[in-house]
Structure 1
Amino acid sequence: MKRIFKIDKISTFLLVLVIALSSCTSDLDITPQDDQDLLGEDFFANETAYKELLAGVYANLSLTGVDGPGSSNIDGLDAGTSQFGRVLLYLQTLSADQMIWSYENDPGTREIQRNIWNADDPIILGMFGRSHVTIAFANNFLRETTDAKLDERNVSAATRTEITAYRAEARLLRAMSYYYMMDLFGQANFLTEDDAINQQSIVYDRAQLFDFIEQELTAIEADLADPMAVEHGRASKGVAWMILAKIYLNAEVYIGQDKYTECIDYCNKIIGGGYTLASNYLHNFMADNNTNSAANEIIFPLISDGTFTQNFGPTTVMINGSVGSIEANGAPLGVSAGGWGGALRVRKQLALLFEPSIFNNDTRNTIISTGRDIEITDISDRDQGYILEKYSNATSTGSFGVDQTFVDTDFPLFRLADVYLMYAEAHLRGGAGANDADVAAYINSLRSRANNPQNNLTISDITLDFILDERSRELHWEAHRRQDLVRYGLFTGGAYNWVWKGNGTNGIALPSNLNLYPIPSASLASNPNLTQNSGY
């Protein structure tokens, strides 16, 4: 059992309280009600309440409700279309060239993976709503921890010191939510703890969100714990640096400006922060990735636990869904033998990145192809296409997670390998502060860790096209691919097509407006300050 800063029974109880403080869940304009309705002074009598309340903010990244894994605290959305990590995976990975979902009667999945979505897609609504719930919860935490309220409660000096770090973490989680809104939607309802309760939110566009995220993460850096100095599942300086590196790498998309030097600066901070690559690539995706060698590589996880945080999140989906319809290979993965009967398969374009013999023994290549055709001409035919064994509910010591459906495997939202690849790409794009030798060393370290014999690359071997392919080999099914393809100018248009892109068997060009998702119709109806993205 994981006994760390986890979303356990206490923080689930807190989630009940915090959820009760949210109104307007039906239209997803999430704002807290009177902050004394349930979180009265009795709640704060014990000073441990502040850490518990912070855990409730983190809880929203894993849980969808408080009545079991199938419950949802967002009206009109079920747990499968409103769990943060799962909808992020759908919008960043299922929409691109790596993954196919077999059961297209599941709400929204057909439209996402065929790139034919609209403003009424429940997965899009789920991401928009879930991110704003995190923002509302963070704002509520910040309102409850002002100097004035701490003075009223005679909070001790020791607890006040801890609360300084807690407030920085809440602000980071809020900034991270705005980061994903900026990336996926280009705008967001914008409220902070300083805004009046139930105030109609203004809307920030991409440039305003970029500035806010940058300024906020810079402002809180000193109050965050150093990398590797926090309980597993909590955010440190490393997470703030990671988000900053991400926004700078993608700054030309977000604000039309080159920020590659800044990206390298923050990659260097992360690399110097004490993180190290896991000794085994697959340790990052196992049930004990909080304690095995991956604990030093994963910068920030989305928590999953088969006992305390049962949810239909990304790792539960991918491990159960990866079990082949032909192979029934669930037992070695730590789930039921049949799993979900071939729910997930690999698109041809990902498989082809591992085709050359140089990748046959690469540990990142967990594709099972025996007895299968690489082509998927009928998405409903679960016997078509290759399957993947990247994620598992097994441990590095040979045991398994506590439950055969709800896995113990945390989702590695950010990890060091991504930083190495970002450093290399930013250097190739002209950023200052990196050098050829380090680029080659970082790429070769990933190859060596994967037991790939081609691990003596020089800078002449490492091009931008190489980096894009290597990112797919290293980071597939980790919710990065759409963002990468947008940055490379390949997500829309017809320069690069993949199977079922644009609902064509072999792929067709996409209009450029699909580089952003639409603002959900329900959200437009709730806030007249929102405007629909172009083309929808």
Structure 2
Amino acid sequence: MKKTKLLLLATCAGITMMAGCAKLDENVLDESSVTGLTDKQIAEGAIAPVYARLPDIWLHTNYFALQEISTDEAILPYRGGTDWGDNGIYLQLHKHENVSSDVNVRNTWNNITQAQSRAVSAIEVLATNKDASAALFLAEARGMKAYYSMLTLDLFGVVFKKEDPKVTSTVLRGNDAVEYIKSELLAIEPVLDNTTGPGRITKAAVWGLLARLHLNAAVYRDRYAATFDFKKEDMDKVVEYCDKIIATPQFVLSPSYFALFDDANHTNKELIFAVDQRADLNGHNRMAYFSLSGDQFPIPAYTGANGTDGPGITSDFYRSWVNAYTPIDPAAADPRFYKQNLGIYTNPGDSCVDAAAFNINRGILRGQQYGLIRKNGVFLKCTSGKMLVGKLFYDTRSKPTKPVEFTEQCDFTVAGSDYNTGFRVSKYEFSKTSVSGRNFGEHDIVILRLADIYLMRAEAKLRRGDAAATALTDVNTVRASRTASTPAPALTSITLDLLFRERGFEFYWESQRRTDMVRFGKYEGTWTEKTSTDKQKRIFPIPLTAIDAASNLPGYLVQNPGY
């Protein structure tokens, strides 16, 4: 049998596979390894690597950082002058001062283009495979290539069109890129069904990606426009594809908002497409620990599983909640803002908790924090043997008298960069079953869920001029669905500005904010520590390593304007 390899590019420009690029050869299928394997085993061996880069793309310092810390939603200061300095990359990211050597930009680019390369190689293998599963796997590989292309288009303004691993990719931009991705997704839609999700691409996932592509097409076609031309035919397609998903009975809005981000969310019926992070797949993400304090220990089984005092939310984003619900506290008004799990916050005497029942609070965490108290490497216990829960101090920072009290202020001043500054986000559940809970999150990371389908449909209706009442119904359907607690009150009117605010409330910390801000014309605005109005910062620089790797093909890969 002919020897076949999955060629993975570490530093190449896109997926060009040209001379001079550094290549990581993964011998998934070669002459020796396939001896005795069935076509089914070969097919499965080809498709698995196509998905394998997703956890790396979605690592907290990669795609998440680019999509959130660059916005008015998240900020990561140089904590205490000792942590998260990282040569200023998070300060630059937030202020829109990125450079082409930024390591987070480079890592995100590399992971996405490596995933694309794997998809191209898998397509070549699966095209001649005789097993009954090959046609489905081939469609999935092609669909994932289209999804990865959507990421490069959104982040960097480029798409690499590649059908043959031995031929240099064609670089597409603007409308050509949009039409190419659309054609790839439409080609596979008839082959897929809805039985293999959410960790694999399905028919509904394709519909959702097509809706997202059409919704953002005006941005992608004219990246630096003063105003975007949202064409009616695009908005019609958004509504059409959203209608298809909403009419599919297997997808249901989750009654519990935070259940969407629990360890066991893989079976949540609201999820349409997600990064599969279940334990048996050795999922690796740090979404649950990234924002928490170093003195918050969410699981009694591990004294080393704590937070990292990473990003907080900006005062600007917090104030959007306050202004929406004043004089009612947003924690009381909207179940998406906060969920109390520890009784001590409202009952000071509730300081002894069974280890099996211990859960930190979820959502946006403010003020003095309470939790497990670690002294000399062990957690303190009550005389009953239960876990002692009390006021937390910065013992891990050698400041045992400084309370872990999260403040609204979070900026790049000395006062605003302390370890306790910024309200924190505990949206994804801290894993209780992985080896530490810190490095191996076991929740699926959401890429598409049903609430997004409703809100995309609402936006498309507004942008094509429908009666606002039809969009309002979609928005209120989502708000009313969280019946595990008192739902947020129905809105009485809807505008694009209110819908933008609503998307912030629904999708905070889900890596959607930058894309939303650009589409709604908010990305050149001013917020905490950010004053840049440069339209060229709507996309990121193509990494210098990729530009250098393409230098033997003059004019092939051109840097984005402004970098």
TM-score normalized with structure 2 length? 0.75
Change in 2 beyond 3 A, CA 1:354/1:141: same
Q: CA deviation at 1:214?
A: 0.7
Unaligned runs of 5+ in 2: 18-22, 78-82, 223-228, 338-362, 368-404
1:234: Cα distance to partner? 1.1
Distance, in Å, in 2 between the alignment partners of 1:34 and 1:429 is 45
- Which of 268, 277, 288 is residue 253 of structure 2 equivalent to? 277
* In structure 1, C-alpha distance between the alignment counterparts of 2:299 and 2:478, rounded to whole Å: 26
Counterpart position of 1:389: 426
Kindly state the Cα deviation for residue 297 of structure 1 after the two structures are TM-superposed. 0.6
* Alignment partners' CA distance in 2, 1:420 and 1:500: 33
Match of 1:407 among 441, 451, 457: 441
Contact 1:88–1:127 (Cα < 8 Å) also in 2: yes
Matches within 5 A, 1:96-111: 96-102=71-77, 103-106=83-86, 108-111=89-92
In the TM superposition, what are the counterparts of 1:178-193 in structure 2 within 5 Å? 178-192=149-163
User: Helix, strand or coil: the match of 2:62?
Assistant: helix
Aligned to 1:252: 218
Q: Are 2:242 and 1:208 aligned? A: no
For residues 63-114 of structure 1, what are the alpha-carbon distances to aligned partners after superposition, in whole Å with 9 as ceiling and x for unaligned?
A: 5xxxxxxxxxxxxxxxxxx666751111111110111224433363332123
| Deviation for aligned residue 1:510 | 2.4
- Contact 1:85–1:302 under 8 Å retained in 2: no
Q: Verify the 8 A CA contact 2:266 2:276 in the aligned structure 1.
A: no
- Structure showing the higher strand proportion among its residues: 2
For structure 1, list consecutive stretches of 5 or more residues without a partner in the other structure: 1-16, 64-81, 502-507
Structure 1 residues 202 and 474, CA, compared in 2 at 3 Å: closer, same or farther? same
Q: Kindly tell me: are residues 170 and 352 of structure 1, through their superposed partners in 2, closer, same or farther at Cα, counting changes over 3 Å?
A: same
- 2:7 corresponding residue in structure 1: 22
1:290 has 2:269 as partner: no
For 2:408 and 2:73, how far apart are their aligned partners in 1?
12
**Which residue is equivalent to 1:68?**
none
SS at match of 2:266: coil
CA distance in structure 1 between the aligned counterparts of 2:235 and 2:48, rounded to whole angstroms = 34
Deviations 1:412-450 (A, max 9, x none): 111111111111111111166xx6555333322322234
Instruction: Indicate conservation of the 8 Å contact 2:210/2:238, yes or no.
Output: yes
Deviations 1:292-348 (A, max 9, x none): xxx21111111224564242x3xx1x31122235xx333269975762342221111
Per the alignment, residue 497 of structure 2 pairs with 465
SS at match of 2:528: coil
Residues 114-513 of structure 1 aligned to structure 2 (within 5 Å): 114-146=95-127, 149-150=128-129, 155=130, 159-160=131-132, 162-192=133-163, 195=164, 197=166, 199-226=167-194, 229-256=195-222, 257=229, 258=231, 259-274=234-249, 275-291=251-267, 295-306=268-279, 308-311=281-284, 313=285, 316=286, 318-325=287-294, 328-331=295-298, 339-355=306-322, 356=326, 357=328, 359-361=330-332, 362-365=334-337, 366-370=363-367, 371-377=405-411, 378=413, 380-393=417-430, 400-401=433-434, 403-405=436-438, 406-430=440-464, 438-450=470-482, 451=485, 454-458=488-492, 461-492=493-524, 496-501=525-530, 508-513=531-536
2:269 is matched by which residue type in structure 1? N
SS in 1 for 2:273: strand
Cα 1:54–1:383 change in 2 (3 A) is same
Amino acid at match of 2:215: L
Structure 1 residues 224 and 465, CA, compared in 2 at 3 Å: closer, same or farther?
same
1:50: how far off?
0.8
1:46-61 matches, within 5 Å, as 46=38, 47-61=40-54
Where 1:165 maps in the other structure, the secondary structure is helix
Change (3 A) 1:116 1:223: same
User: 2:67, 2:301 → 1: CA distance?
Assistant: 26
What SS does structure 1 have at the residue aligned with 2:288? helix
Amino acid at match of 2:463: R
SS in 2 for 1:170: helix
1:514 paired residue number: 537
| 479-488 or 402-411, larger mean C-alpha shift | 402-411
Code of the aligned partner of 2:510: E
SS in 2 for 1:253: helix
TM-score when scaled to structure 1? Answer: 0.79
Rounded to whole Å, the distance in 2 between the matches of 1:52 and 1:22 is: 14
Which residue matches 1:93? Answer: 68
Q: In the aligned structure 2, how far is the partner of 1:95 from the partner of 1:273?
A: 35
Letter in 2 for 1:375: Q
Q: CA deviation at 1:247?
A: 1.1
Determine the C-alpha separation between the residues in 2 that align with 1:87 and 1:163. 32
Q: Which residue of 1 aligns with 2:357?
A: none
- Equivalent-residue separation in structure 1 for 2:300 and 2:91 (angstroms): 27
CA distance in 1, matches of 2:451, 2:303: 31
What whole-Å deviation, never above 9, does each CA across 1:214-255 have from its counterpart, x for those lacking one?
1111111000113xx115411101111111111111121112
Cα 1:175–1:86 shift into 2, 3 Å: farther
Indicate how the Cα distance of structure 1 residues 402 and 298 shifts in structure 2: closer, same or farther if over 3 A, else same.
farther
Deviation at 1:55, TM superposition (A): 1.3
3-state SS of the aligned residue for 1:374? coil
- Cα-Cα RMSD: 2.8
Preserved contact between residue 9 and residue 113 of structure 2 (Cα < 8 Å): no
For residue 372 of structure 1, report the CA deviation from its aligned partner: 3.4
- Between the aligned partners of 1:388 and 1:84, the Cα distance in structure 2 is 16
Describe the superposition over 1:240-273 as per-residue Cα deviations: whole angstroms up to 9, x where unpaired: 1111111111121112551211111111111112
Instruction: Tell me how far apart the structure 1 counterparts of residues 513 and 237 of structure 2 sit (CA, whole Å).
Output: 22
Give yes or no for contact 2:199–2:274 (8 Å, CA) kept in 1. yes
519-528 vs 83-92, which moves further: 83-92
Where does residue 383 of structure 2 map in the other structure? none
CA contact (8 A) 1:239 1:299 kept: yes
Equivalent-residue separation in structure 1 for 2:474 and 2:434 (angstroms):
32
> Relative to 1, partners in 2 of residues 1:360 and 1:232: Cα closer, same or farther, differing over 3 Å?
closer
Q: Which residue of 1 aligns with 2:401?
A: none
